[in-house]
Amino acid sequence: MSEAGEALSLGERISESIAIKTVFRIEALGLSIPISDTVITTWALMALLILGSWLLVRRLRMAPRRPQLLAEAFVGFVNKITEEKLGRHGRSYAAFLGTLFLFLIAANLAPMLSPVGGFGFEPPFFIRPLTRDINVTAALAAAVIATVVGSTFRHKGLRGWAKGLVSPMPFMLPFNLMEYAIKPLSLALRLFGNILGAYIIMLLVEAVMPLGLPPIAGLYFDLFDGLVQAVVFSFLSTIYIAEAIE
């Protein structure tokens, strides 16, 4: 095969891997609703997180064992961070921000559970990064900005919200309004771009050197980068909420 043919084949494989595929459709009320692979992965991750949470709390003990200790440590960590950033209102948002963080970790790190092929073995399935789909990151960003707007009205009321739009000077009105579009857009694109970029790099690494290098590179592009993006998204969401209730 020529170099051009190999490059074309590699490009086709990458395009195939990052494409969002429709698995089936739901026909209802005259509508045909496509269900993509990212939707199915989202359902699976939600089910696993709910099941895991139920298993951890169904038999709580005064003398906790290791799983309960880990769960209590995570809850304590989230409560501490939210109280530091949001003050006395921190506990009200701890559940939302903690769930968001857990979901992002699961979404970003799930591809590491994919079976590895080689030596003629074809894995029965692949788990692709959920947040490589801009629709997923946009939905998460929309949930965050909806929480920000709701928090503003809850703690400041309509008058306080209107006053904030012209703060510190009236000419800031258009810029303050633009923030309601810029914040979710930046959240969605940052997460989408970093995860998709890391995923494409890993595909190139696996194509160039399928043995030896992918596990080493995966420690950064899959594990470290996935954790960092989950932290950044959750931290920025916390900051945006803090600004809304300040």
| Tens digit of each residue's pLDDT (9 = 90 or more) over 187-245 | 999 999 998 888 888 777 777 776 667 667 777 777 888 899 999 999 999 999 998 88
Confirm if 90 and 75 have CB atoms less than 8 A apart.
no
Report the pLDDT value the prediction gives residue 146, as an integer from 0 to 100.
Answer: 92
Distance CA 164, CA 175 (A): 11
DSSP label at 72?
A: H
Lowest mean pLDDT among 19-33, 75-89, 137-151: 19-33
Band of pLDDT at residue 91, cut at 50, 70 and 90: confident
The residues spanned by each domain of the chain are 72-121+129-245
Mean pLDDT of the chain: 81
Flag whether pLDDT at 49 surpasses 80.
yes
What does the pLDDT read at residue 144? 93
Percent of the chain with pLDDT over 70: 88
The pLDDT assigned to 165 comes to 75
**CA dist., res. 189 & res. 179, Å (int):** 15
Residue 6: pLDDT above 60? Answer: no
Q: What percent of the chain has pLDDT over 90?
A: 19
User: Among the residues of the chain, which ranges form H helices?
Assistant: 3-18, 37-57, 66-86, 90-109, 134-165, 173-208, 213-218, 225-245
pLDDT tens by residue, 26-46: 887 778 888 888 888 889 899
pLDDT of the residue at 100: 93
Residue 89, pLDDT > 70, answer: yes
**Span 100-146, pLDDT tens digits:** 999 999 888 887 776 655 555 555 567 788 888 899 999 999 999 99
Q: Is the pLDDT of residue 51 over 80?
A: yes
**Looking at per-residue confidence, does 2 or 97 come out higher?**
97
pLDDT score, position 124: 57
Global pTM exceeds 0.85? no
